[in-house]
Amino acid sequence: MVRKANVINKTGLGGGKGSAEVHYIVPEEELYGHGRMYAKVCLKPGSTVGWHRHVGETEPYYILEGQGVFIDDDKSRTSVGPGDVCTILPGQCHSIENTSETEDLVFMALIYKD
């Protein structure tokens, strides 16, 4: 089967500020109970994914384009760019910020159950 991703514009992703384009690659029902999201996220300049917790699941981010700051469970802040992987373990909180004024921060996000 071949299909196009379902693209949705969202504001306040995860309680954050600004906007993002979320390209849902595989719908939740096709993850067959193993996860709830597989998507490419294009976080617009100055936008953030808000601080939130994952319960019973984990979520890695794989940074494709742009620059940002990943805020880990211990509130440490780490600059991230293409090729970086940010891993959120079950029960942990996290956030990410697009620090650019001109470029999107683009990353893959996969939420799967532990």
In a domain, 51, yes or no: yes
In a domain, 95, yes or no: yes
- Considering the entire predicted model, what is its pTM? 0.93
- Domain ranges, residue 16: 6-113
Closest CA to 48 of 7, 10, 74: 10
- Pair 41, 55: CB distance under 8 Å: no
Residue-wise pLDDT tens digits, 68-99: 999 999 999 999 999 999 999 899 999 999 99
**Spatial strand order in the sheet of 68-71:** 48-53, 93-98, 68-71, 77-80
Amino acid occupying residue 71: I
The full DSSP string for 56-74 is SEEEEEEEEES-EEEE-TT
Q: Which CATH number covers residue 60?
A: 2.60.120.10
If one counts the domains in the chain, the total is 1
Residue-wise pLDDT tens digits, 36-58: 999 999 999 999 999 999 899 99
Closest CA to 41 of 95, 77, 101: 95
In a domain, 1, yes or no: no
In a domain, 81, yes or no: yes
